[in-house]
Amino acid sequence: MRSNSSRGRTSHTPHRTIRHRRTATVALAGVAALIAAAVQTGVASAAPAKPQAGKANPAHMALKLTPSQRAELIRDADAAKAATARSIGLGSKEKLVVRDVVKDANGTLHTRYERTYAGLPVLGGDLVVDSSKAGVTMDVIKATDARLKVTHLTPAVSKTAAEKQGVRSAKALGGTKSAADSVRKVIWAANGKPVLAYETVIGGLQDDGTPNQLHVITDAATGKKLHEYQGIQTGIGNTQYSGQVSLTTAHSGSTYTLTDNTRGGHKTYNLNHGSSGTGSLFSQSSDTWGNGSTSNAATAGADAAYGAQETWDFYKNTFNRSGIRDDGVGAYSRVHYGNSYVNAFWDDSCFCMTYGDGSGNADPLTSLDVAGHEMSHGVTSNTAGLNYSGESGGLNEATSDIMGTGVEFYAHNASDPGDYLIGEKININGDGTPLRYMDKPSKDGNSADSWYSGVGNLNVHYSSGVANHFFYLLSEGSGAKVINGVSYNSPTSDGLPVTGIGRDKALQIWYRALTTKWTSTTNYAGARSGTLAAAGELYGTSSAAYKAVQDAWAAVNVGSRSGGGGGGGTSYENDNPVSIPDDGPAVTSSITVSGRSGNAPSNLKVGVDITHTWRGDLVIDLIGPSGTAYRLKNFSSSDSADNVNETYTVNASAEPANGTWKLRVQDQAAWDTGTLNDWKLTFP
């Protein structure tokens, strides 16, 4: 895996926001309004079922569709895609391509689309349309809010020049191929203003032997490299075996094979240290596979087959999902890849899972959590399609860690009990420590415990710490505890406690957000919005689960607490959105404080929630009742990250507490816009 370390002005990762569009029926302003409006206006055919305490609202649970039912919904969406495009305000050159449909028990449809512009694929143009049982559009969730209008569709840069740039980028990462596998014209809309571009894909091998599938995006007008990402998604390794397990195999005559026809026809192959093709299907005269050690090649095959089996069952029984693509078709697994290859990876192009044998071919990386982690990359690819760079890449990796952890707990295997440690049984570091810790990610020396402005610049395995930590806190809560014999002690960024809601609920919330709320460009602010929407639909906006999602995100420095800051303080809030004009005049939002005595404190907390596609453009000031300005954030041309989700501490002791306080925000550079969503003052 490679991180995108170059984050210049043209290659920052975009934000994902949830926009609630006005329909002929009602304007929707949030998940609470979404649920209430559906009841009050008759958008739904009946009032949604009231969730029982501690249980998900059955009206908002996804139905299990048969392949024919799913195909019919996709056909219906495809037939109506032109009308849908017009109804949500797309331009005449834009067309929708149906990708997937999720149907809730109350009839709500979540239809995922790709987009084209003038016949060209739009990268970063994906979106989800939520529609009621009556066919009324309720919500549109876009990967980008930028208007698609590309004036020039004739490249100034040749296809050959773009290919050469892509090949150079691949060689810088250890690639050896002298030509690209493919070059195509696209519209690049994932960052800032949409432009005509080339997408070049280079295959071959990376410097460590991992297959290469480098995607390089080149501006077709200037030749500038806009973005690159690695299509092969590799993950953790784990050399621990799962002990004696039951495997579903196939039998014909006197021959058994590692073929699981009860799980979509999953097959397990032996590459015998090759690095291409499928190798040979594991087959033998006995139905006992391996001997628990590397002396028998079938041992790794048995572990891989078991991992695929448990991952399939986890998704089936936890989310009613039938396979990675939810179409009942099994992937396949390959073991004994390469020589001394210390990794494992999922590859969409072959729809397969591949495992190396570890250093000296002594420890095949075929454990249960490896299977759960890597195959979950396939689920992400077939749902939200989270980009594998920036904050979206961190969410992508965290999703695999979260679901891999879910698989490990689900399997209830005595040889590998469920835990919140990633790769705890492998010894890559030589000291027996895990690769990652979900309760306190920074314990690995690299991962982030909480969000900060540069977290998207980290390798995706380390930026994933923010989401991993959130999920642990949401599941188990903060503080010291022992789970399955493992000791944890999870801190919070604001020093306030979090009460967990249990792993089962946390998984349901994460999965629903992944499959119905997120797009390719979702970042941590968008992940918070999506998980809150999911929690509201499943458990209600006044539920403990909904409040816990708020608190767990606040505990990793994304957004504010459910109680407006907590800690016994008093908060005053203005959540009326204010648009921030591009390179324009400052805008202000006011909060009036009354009923307090004396002056403001020396540690006044100012919470700011702004969505913006280039945070460095913004200058933010707090204006006290006396008119004095307190600078919260300066302009920075190098800060290309998205959004401001910060709590600032201001010494406001010279100000009277009562009076009108203002937040002043100004965008001081061209190209990017945003919205002040919410801000609050907290008096400790």
pLDDT digits (tens, 9 = 90+) for 311-356: 999 999 999 999 999 999 999 999 999 999 988 999 999 999 999 9
Judged against a pLDDT cut of 60, whether residue 7 lies above it is answered with no
Average pLDDT, the chain: 85
Element at 526 (helix H, strand E): helix 524-539
From 222-231, 336-345, 663-672, the region with the lowest mean pLDDT:
222-231
Q: For residue 202, report the phi and psi dihedrals to the nearest 5 degrees.
A: -115, 125
Which residues of 313-384 form beta strands (DSSP E)?
332-337, 344-347, 352-356
With CA atoms as reference, report the closest residue to 646 among 660, 665, 659, 661.
Answer: 665
With vertex at residue 579, the alpha carbon angle to CA 575 and CA 582, rounded to the nearest 5 degrees, is 150
- Residue pLDDT, tens place only, 511-561: 999 999 999 999 999 999 999 999 999 999 889 999 999 999 999 999 888
Q: Which pLDDT score is estimated for 19?
A: 25
Instruction: Report the percent of the chain where pLDDT is more than 90.
Output: 63
Beta pairing, strands 259-260 & 266-270: antiparallel
> What single string gives the DSSP state of each residue in 592-635?
EE-S--SBPPTTEEEEEEEEES-GGGEEEEEE-TTS-EEEEE--
- Give strand pairing partners of 140: 19, 129
Read off the pLDDT band of 569 (50, 70, 90): low
For strands 332-337 and 266-270, give the pairing: parallel
The pLDDT-based confidence of 671 (bands split at 50, 70, 90) is confident
Q: Which residues pair with 344 in a beta bridge?
A: 355
Question: Within 10 A of 118 (CB to CB), how many other CB atoms are there?
Answer: 16
Residues 64-78: pLDDT tens digits?
Answer: 888 889 999 999 999
Chain centre distance of CA 311 = 19
What does pTM read for this prediction? 0.69
The closest of 579, 577, 595, 576 to 587, measured between CA atoms, is 579
Number of residues written out for the chain: 684
pLDDT at position 238: 33
SS3 552: helix
Query: Which is higher by pLDDT, 209 or 514?
Result: 514
Question: Domain spanning 570-683 has what CATH number?
Answer: 2.60.120.260
What secondary structure letter does DSSP report for 211?
Answer: B
Contacts 24+ apart (CB under 8 A), 559-565: 559/525, 559/528, 559/609, 559/645, 560/607, 560/609, 560/647, 560/678, 560/680, 561/494, 561/496, 564/680, 564/682, 565/605, 565/607, 565/647, 565/680, 565/682
Q: 13-17, 590-594, 646-650: lowest mean pLDDT where?
A: 13-17
Contact 663, 606 (CB under 8 A): yes
pLDDT at residue 233, rounded to an integer: 58
> For residues 535 and 538, what is the distance between their CA atoms, to the nearest angstrom?
5
How many other β-carbons are positioned within 10 Å of the β-carbon of residue 137? 19
pLDDT score for 26: 19
Strands 332-337 and 352-356: parallel
Residue with tokens 């306030």: 496
The string of pLDDT tens digits covering residues 17-75 is: 222 222 221 111 222 222 222 222 222 223 334 444 457 888 888 988 888 899 999 99
Show the CA angle centred on residue 523, arms to residues 542 and 172, nearest 5°. Answer: 160
Q: Which of 575, 589, 561 is nearest to 682 (CA)?
A: 561
**pLDDT tens-digit readout, 106-124:** 999 999 999 999 999 999 9
Residue whose entry in the numeric block shows the structure tokens 């420095």:
557
Of 21-35, 439-453, 508-522, 616-630, least confident by mean pLDDT is 21-35
The encoded tokens of residue 469 equal 């930590």
What integer is the mean pLDDT of 654-663? 94
Three-class SS state of 259: strand
Dihedrals phi, psi of 110, to nearest 5 degrees = -115, 100
Helices of type H across 66-194: 67-79, 81-87, 159-172
Structural contact between residues 456 and 463, judged by C-beta atoms closer than 8 angstroms: yes
Could you tell me the residue ranges of all domains in the chain? 17-142, 570-683
Instruction: Yes or no: say if 220 and 156 are a contact pair by the CB < 8 Å rule.
Output: yes
Tokens found for residue 422: 């990633």
Q: How far apart are CA 459 and CA 7, in angstroms?
A: 12
- Sequence-ordered list of residues with C-beta below 8 angstroms from that of 338, at least 6 positions apart, any chain: 209, 271, 273, 274, 275, 356, 357
Tokens 């203002």, residue? 662
| CA angle in degrees (0–180, nearest 5) for 389-395-400 | 110
Angle at 144 between CA 138 and CA 145, to 5 degrees: 65
Tokens linked to 480: 């010291």
Bridge-based pairing of strands 332-337 and 421-422 is unpaired
> Cβ atoms within 10 A of the Cβ of 465, count?
30
Q: How far apart are CA 165 and CA 225, in angstroms?
A: 8
| Rounded distance between C-alpha atoms, residue 188 and residue 120, angstroms | 10
**Euclidean distance between CA atoms 313 and 290, whole angstroms:** 23
Separation between Cα atoms, residue 68 and residue 534, nearest integer Å: 27
| Catalytic (active-site) positions | 374, 461
- CA distance from start to end of the chain: 45
Mean pLDDT over 611-618 rounds to 91
Beta-strand ranges (E) seen in 263-330 are 266-270, 280-281, 283-284
Judge whether residue 494 has pLDDT over 50: yes
* Burial of 517 per CB tally in 10 Å (0-12, 13-18, 19+): buried
Q: Average pLDDT of 578-583?
A: 93
Q: What is the pLDDT of residue 66?
A: 87
d(CA 91, CA 148): 8
Is 235:397 a contact under the CB 8 Å cutoff? Answer: yes
CA distance 139 to 31: 10
Quick check: helix, strand or coil at residue 355? Answer: strand
To which residue do tokens 């002791």 refer? 653
Answer whether 173's CB lies under 8 Å from 207's CB. yes
Q: What is the pLDDT of residues 127-136, one digit of tens each?
A: 999 999 999 9
> What would the mean pLDDT of 153-180 be, rounded to a whole number?
89
Q: Report pLDDT for 683.
A: 84
What pLDDT, on a 0 to 100 scale, did the predictor assign at position 397?
A: 96
DSSP per-residue codes, 27-76: ---SHHHHHHHHHHHT-SSSPPPPPPTTS--GGGSBP---HHHHHHHHHH
pLDDT at 241: 55
Q: Would you state the structure tokens that stand for residue 550, as one six-digit string?
A: 């708020």
- One DSSP character per residue, 408-434 reads HHHHTBTTB---SEESTT--TTSS---
